[in-house]
Amino acid sequence: MAKATTGIKASDIKFDRYRFDVVVIGAGGAGLRAAVEARQAGLRVAIICKSLFGKAHTVMAEGGAAAAMGNVNENDGWKVHFRDTMRGGKFLNNWRMAELHAKESPDRIWELETWGALFDRTKDGRISQRNFGGHEYPRLAHVGDRTGLELIRTMQQRIVAMQQKDKKEFGDAEKYIKVFAELTITSILKDGDKVSGCYGYWRESGDEVLFESPAVVLATGGIGKSFKITSNSWEGTGDGHALALKAGSALVDMEFVQFHPTGMVWPPSVRGILVTESVRGDGGVLTNNKGERFMFNYIPEVFKDKYADNEAEADRWYKDQNNNRRPPELLPRDEVARAINAEVKAGRGSEHSGVYLDVSKRLPADEIKRRLPSMWHQFKELADVDITEQPMEVGPTCHYVMGGVKVDPDTAAAYGVPGLFAAGEVAGGMHGSNRLGGNSLSDLLVFGRRAGAGAAEYVKGLKGKSPEVSDKEIEKAHDHINDPFDRDGNENPYALQQELQNITQDLVGIIRTESELKESLEKIESIRERSKKVRVEGGKLFNPGFHLAIDLENMLLVSESIARSALEREESRGGHTRDDYPKMDPEWRQYNHLTTWSGKKVEIEAEKAKMLPEELLSLFEMDELKKYFTEKELAKGGK
Amino acid sequence: MARKVKMRIWRGDSKNGDFKDVTVEANEGEVVLDVIHRVQATQMSDLAVRWNCKAGKCGSCSMEINGKPRLACMTRMNMYGEDENITVTPLRAFPVIKDLVTDVSFNYKKAMEVPAFEGPEDLKPGEYRMQQVDVERSQEFRKCIECFLCQDTCHVIRDHEENKKSFAGPRFFIRIAELDMHPLDRLRNRKKKAQEEHGLGMCNITKCCTEVCPEHIKITDNAIIPMKERVVDVKYDPVRWLGSKIRKREGIE
C-alpha cells in the first residue's frame, strides 16, 4: 500500500462533497430537535450520526423529562421548576437558560405527543409525572423507565414523517433533510472567523466527506468515556467539546462532572451501567452493610428545611407530599453520590464496594415490573438479581458533564465563532454545578429547538453570502484524519484509552485534591505525547482502532480541560468536590471558568458570572439566598 | 476468576471471509461483547463490531452467536460450556460490510414506507387525553429497540433475498400495529395496507421473531395475528367498517 497520504494538495484528495444550509452534528435528542426546527424554517439540513440513526445516547435516558405541566400536582409551575434547577446547580447556572428551560419545557413535551409519543397517563388521561431528586413536585413525564427511547424514536419518526412529506411534494425524500449514519466529523472549517463547513469520514469505508455549510450545530453529547466507570457508551468522547475548542470557541465550567449515585457495581463487566433515579423516586431506599438508611446523616445545611430527618416522615411523604418533607434519598445527585462514596470509604459498603438500593419492600412485585421494567430486566439478565425480591448493589458512575460550549441562551450560538451553535449536553451553563435528573431530556428539547431556530436565523441573515471553504482547510482536515496511518510508532490506542480512563477516574474523580489534579495533568500530558505514536493497524474499512485513534485526541483535550478547571476552583460545589477546600464559597459563585485552546495548551480564565435580575431573585426567600450569595451582592439586589 | 475461552470469529468483507480462531480470557459475569472487545483490544485492533449502550437498550450489537440472532451485550458467557467453542457471525439476512458489521439500510428504507402518525386536527398540543389502558397496547410495540434481530431471523427474508422488496418484516408490522392501535391516530386502513403493501400475508406465524426479541415483545400474538384477524373482520363487518370510516380518513393530503 502506498505510504504518506498526508501532505498532499486538495486537488489530489478524494472526498465526497455536500452543500447544506445547516449541518447538525449528533443525532440524539438535541440534534434531532434542532434539525426539525431548521427544516421547518425552510432550510436544507444534514443530520450526522456517529452511530446508526436512532442509537444515540439519548436512548439510554430512563427516568423522564422534567416539565412543570402540573398534571399531578397543580401547584407546580415554571417558577417552582426554575427554583429547583437553580438550587440543584447551586446557583451557578446561567439563569437565563434555566428560565427559558423552565418556561418552555411543557410545550416541548406536549409537542412530542402530536408527533406520536405515548407517555404514561394520569387517571384523567393526561401525561403522568413522577417524583425525582431535587424536584419539589412530581414533574417527570415518562414512559416506564425507557423515556429516552420514546423521545428519540418519536423524533426519529418525526424526521421520517417530514421526509415522507417532502417525497410526496418534491419527489425526493432527501431534498431537505438527509441523514448521514455512521459518520464522524473531525474538523470545523472556517473562512476568517466564520464557520464555512465541516469535514469528516464515513466510519464504514473511511472515505472522507466535506460539508460546505454556513451553520454547524454541535449536538454531540457528553464526555463519559474519558472516565473508567461510566454510564456512557463509546460515543461519549467529547467530540463536540473538542471541535468547539479547536474552532476557537470556549467551554464553560468544565470542572463540573456529574457522578450519578447509582450505577451497577457487580459483576465487573457491567460496572457503571445506569440504575435509574426512578428507583428512588418510586420509593427505593439506600442502606449500608449495617442496614442503616444512611442518607439521613448527609443532609447538607442548605437543604435542611426541605428534607425529612427521620424515617417516619420520609415514609409518610410518599402518601402525603404537602405535609411532609421529602426523603433524603431524593437529594440532588451530587449529594447522594458523595454520601455513597463516604459510606464505602468508611468501610460500610456492600460486598462489592457499593451500597444497597432496595425497592422490593416498598412496592409489590407486579408494580415494580410495571414501573421499572428495564431495571428488572437489566438486573435479572446481567447480575442474576431479582429486584422485586432483593436489593441492588449500586455505586457512583460518571454520567454527565455540566460544563460545555459557552452559548448565547436565546439562540444557542457558540461563543466567538459566528455560524457555530451548540445544544444539549455539549452546551454548558444550563445546569450550573449540578444537573437535576430529568432536566436533561427537557434541556435537549428546549435548546435543540432554539439551536435550530438560531442557526436558521443566522443563515437567513447571510442573505446568500456564504463563507467559503479554502483548499488549505481541506488539506489540514485531510492530514488530521490520515495522520494515524502514516506515523512511526507502536502505541496501541485501546491501551492508551484505558490508561487515560484510569487517570481521570483516580485523580479527577468524585473527590479531588490539588496534588492529585497536578499529577493528573502531568500524566495526561505524557499520554498526549504517546498518542502521537499511535499507529493504526489494517485499512480504513470499518476499523475501530482507527476510529479510536481519532477520538482519543478529543478525550485528551476534554480530560485536560476538566483537570485544569478543577485545579483552579478552590471550593466544593455540585459536581466538583475538593478535599482540600471542602466548603462552598459564595465568593466563588461569582465566577465561571472559561476554557480555551491555544493550539498547544488548554487555558483557563475566570469570568465574572452574571447576577440574576430582580424578578428572578425575588422568587427566593432572602434566608435561602444568603446561603449562596455574598452580602455585597445581595445589598446591590438583582442587576 | 478468569478462564480461557475459545472463540471462532467470522472475519471478512462483502467479497471474502473466513473464520478465525482465537483463545481469549473471560472473567466472571462477562457477556460475549466484553470478550469480543478484549479480542479487539489485544489481538485484532481492526475487528469491526457495532455497539453502543452495552445494556440492551440501543440494539446495536446484534449478531449471531452459535447461529442464533442475539444481542452480544445481553448474552452471558456462562450460558456456554467451559470447553464450548463460541462462534460469532454477522447477521445473515443483511449484506456484510466488514467482520460482524452488516448493512442494515433495508430497515431504514422500510421505515420510510410506513405512513407516520396522523394526529387529530382539532386538538392542540397539551389537549391530548388518553387512558393508560388504551396506550398500553401501543406502548408494548414502542419498546422496540430496532436491533433488527426479528428481521434477521424471519424466514421470509432470511434466505429469500427476492422477498425483501415486498415484505416489510416483523419490526414494521409492530410499527404498523402500534399506529393502528394508537387511540388518536386518524389514518384509516393501516391493517389493510399491511396486508396489501407491506407483505403481512407472507408471514405464516412461526413466531421466530417473538422468540428472538430481546424486549420480549409478543410480535406474533399481539401484533401480527390481531392484524391478520381484523383485516378479515373489517371486510365482513359493516358496523365496524362504517365506524372506521367516520373516525379515520384515508391517506395523507
Q: Which helix (H) or strand (E) holds B26?
A: strand B17-26
Q: What are phi and psi of B123, to 5 degrees?
A: -110, 130
Give the pairing of strands A392-401 and A355-358: antiparallel
Nearest CA in chain B to A115: B117
Q: Domain range spanning residue A552?
A: 486-585
Mean model confidence pLDDT for chain B: 92
Final residue belonging to a domain, choices A364, A397, A430: A397
Residue bearing cell 478535599: A579
Any chain B CB within 8 A of the CB of A104? no
3-class DSSP string for A127-173: ECEECCCCCCCCCEECCCCCHHHHHHHHHHHHHHHHHHHHHHHHCCC
A419-471 tens-digit pLDDT: 999 999 999 999 999 999 999 999 999 999 999 999 999 999 999 899 999 99
Confidence at B173, pLDDT banded by 50, 70, 90: very high
B101-151, pLDDT tens digit by residue?
A: 999 999 999 999 999 999 999 999 999 999 999 999 999 999 999 999 999
Confidence of residue A639 (pLDDT cuts 50, 70, 90): low
Q: Across the A/B interface, how many CB contacts are shorter than 8 Å?
A: 178
- Say if residues B129 and B122 touch (Cβ distance below 8 Å): no
Is the pLDDT confidence value at B245 over 60?
Answer: no
ipTM: 0.93
CB contact under 8 A, B142 and A118: yes
**Which among A59, A113, A546 has CB closest to B53?**
A59
Q: Which of A25, A464, A428 is nearest to A218 (CA)?
A: A25
- What are the pLDDT digits (tens) for A556-569? 999 999 999 999 99
Structure letter (DSSP) for residue A419: T
Task: Please name the residue ranges forming H helices in chain B.
Answer: 32-42, 105-113, 132-142, 149-153, 155-158, 170-181, 190-196, 208-212, 225-236, 238-247
Per the CB < 8 A criterion, the answer to whether A197 and A477 are in contact is: no
Helix (H) or strand (E) holding A314: helix A311-317
Q: Which residues in chain A have their CB less than 8 angstroms from residue B119's CB? A: 113-116
| Segments in A171-249 forming alpha helices (H) | 239-246
Q: Is the dihedral of CA A279, A284, A288, A289 positive or negative?
A: negative
Which residues in chain B are contacts of A146 at CB distance < 8 A? 57, 143
* Closest-CA distance of chain A to residue B204, Å: 28
**Residue A2 pLDDT:** 43
Rounded CA separation B223/B240 (Å): 19
CB distance B12 to B99 below 8 Å: yes
Across A487-501, b (16+ Cβ under 10 Å) vs e yields beeebbbbebbeebb
Question: Which amino acid is residue A563, in one-letter code?
Answer: A
**Tally of CA atoms within 13 A in the half-sphere of B140 that contains its CB:** 18
pLDDT at residue B253 in the model = 31
* Angle at which helices A29-40 and A439-461 cross, to 10°: 40
Domain boundary (A397, A431, A460) is at A397
| Residue A138 in this model has a pLDDT that exceeds 60 | yes
Q: Taking all residues of chain A, what is their mean pLDDT, rounded to a whole number?
A: 95
Amino acid letter at A205?
S
| pLDDT of B236 above 80 | no
Cβ within 8 Å of B, A 314-343:
none
Closest listed residue to residue B49, CA positions, set B58, B60, B65: B60
Whether B250 has a pLDDT exceeding 70, the answer reads: no
Closest C-alpha to A348, from A307, A279, A310, A295: A295
Write phi, then psi, for A276 (nearest 5 degrees).
-60, 145
**pLDDT tens-digit map of A387-430:** 999 999 999 999 999 999 999 999 999 999 999 999 999 999 99
Looking up residue A368, the CATH number of its domain turns out to be 3.90.700.10
What pLDDT, on a 0 to 100 scale, did the predictor assign at position A609?
94
DSSP B163: G
**Do A374 and A498 belong to one domain?**
no
- Report the percent of chain A where pLDDT is more than 70: 99
Rounded to whole angstroms, the Cα distance separating A154 from A142 reads: 13
Tens of pLDDT, residues A518-534: 999 999 999 999 999 99
- Cβ of A545 within 8 Å of Cβ of B45? The answer is yes
Domain locations along chain B = 3-102, 105-247
What is the structure's pLDDT at A268? 86
Check residue A18 and give its pLDDT: 98
| Residue closest to A142 by CA, chosen among A111, A115, A109 | A109
Contact state of A157 with B117 under an 8 Å Cβ cutoff: yes
Q: Any CB–CB contact under 8 A between A57 and chain B?
A: yes
Instruction: Give the CATH number, domain containing residue A533.
Output: 1.20.58.100
Instruction: Give the C-alpha distances (Å, rounded to integers) separating A345 from A96, A573, A578.
Output: 39, 20, 16
How many angstroms separate the CA atoms of A590 and A630, rounded? 9
Indicate the number of domains in chain A: 2
Question: Considering just the CA atoms, what is the radius of gyration of chain B in Å?
Answer: 21
The three grid cell numbers given for residue A612, joined into one nine-digit string? 440574576
Kindly tell me if the per-residue pLDDT of B240 is higher than 70. no
Q: Which helix (H) or strand (E) holds A243?
A: helix A239-246
Residue A537 has pLDDT above 90, yes or no: no
Mean pLDDT of A178-186: 98
Do the bridges between strand A215-218 and strand A22-25 make them parallel or antiparallel, or are there none, so unpaired? parallel
In a domain, A14, yes or no: no
Interatomic CA distance for residues A83 and A76, integer angstroms: 11
- Model confidence at B251: pLDDT above 90: no
Q: What is the pLDDT of residues B28-55, one digit of tens each?
A: 889 999 999 999 999 999 999 999 999 9
pLDDT of A487 reads: 87
| Nearest in space to B154 (alpha carbons), one of B96, B98, B214, B92 | B92
Q: How many CB atoms are closer than 10 A to CB A627? A: 16
Q: Quick check: B184 pLDDT over 90?
A: yes
- Tell if the CB–CB gap between A537 and B139 is shorter than 8 Å: no
Which residues of A are the active-site residues?
260, 280
pLDDT of residue B233: 67
DSSP A12: G
Homologous superfamily (CATH) for B105-247: Alpha-helical ferredoxin (1.10.1060.10)
Query: What pLDDT does residue A505 have?
Result: 94
C-alpha A589 chain-centroid distance? 22
C-alpha cell at A490: 507502536
The verdict on A285 and A390 lying in the same domain is yes
A380 in a structural domain: yes
Give the pLDDT band (50/70/90) at residue B7.
very high
Burial of B25 (0-12, 13-18, 19+ CB in 10 A): middle
CA atoms of A260 and A510, how far apart (whole Å)? 10
Picking from A344, A374, A397, the residue at the C-terminal end of a domain is A397
| Chain A residue whose CA is closest to B124 | A114
- Which uninterrupted H or E stretch holds A396? strand A392-401
A542, A366, A80: which is closest to B99 by C-alpha?
A542
Say whether pLDDT at B1 is over 70: no
Q: Which cell numbers hold the place of A288? A: 449500608
Are B46 and A53 in contact (CB < 8 Å)?
Answer: no
Q: What is the pLDDT of residues A468-514, one digit of tens each?
A: 999 999 999 999 999 999 888 889 999 999 999 999 999 999 999 99
What pLDDT does B243 receive?
55
- Of A232, A209, A54, A149, nearest in space to B104 by CA: A54
Length, in residues, of chain A: 639
Calculate mean pLDDT across residues A31-51: 98
C-alpha cell at A262: 447509582
- A537, B45: Cβ pair inside 8 Å? yes
The Cα–Cα gap between A611 and A100 comes to 16
Please give the pLDDT value at position A1: 41
CA dihedral A566, A571, A573, A575 (to 10 degrees): 20
- Kindly state whether A381 is in contact with chain B, defined as any CB-CB distance less than 8 angstroms: yes
In a domain, A636, yes or no: no
| pLDDT tens digits along A289-305 | 999 999 999 999 999 99
What pLDDT sits at residue B246? 52
Tell whether A606 is covered by a domain: no
CATH architecture of the domain formed by B3-102: Roll (3.10)
Set of cell numbers at residue A356 = 444497597
CA distance A221 to chain B (A): 13
Query: What cell was used for A608?
Result: 465574572
CA atoms lying within 13 Å on the CB side of residue A630: 11
Q: What is the pLDDT of residues A192-208, one digit of tens each?
A: 999 999 999 999 999 99
| Residue in chain B lying closest to A150 (CA) | B142
**Which residue type is seen at A475?**
E
| Count of C-beta atoms within a 10 Å radius of residue B196 | 12
Of B111, B129, B131, the CB nearest to A160: B111
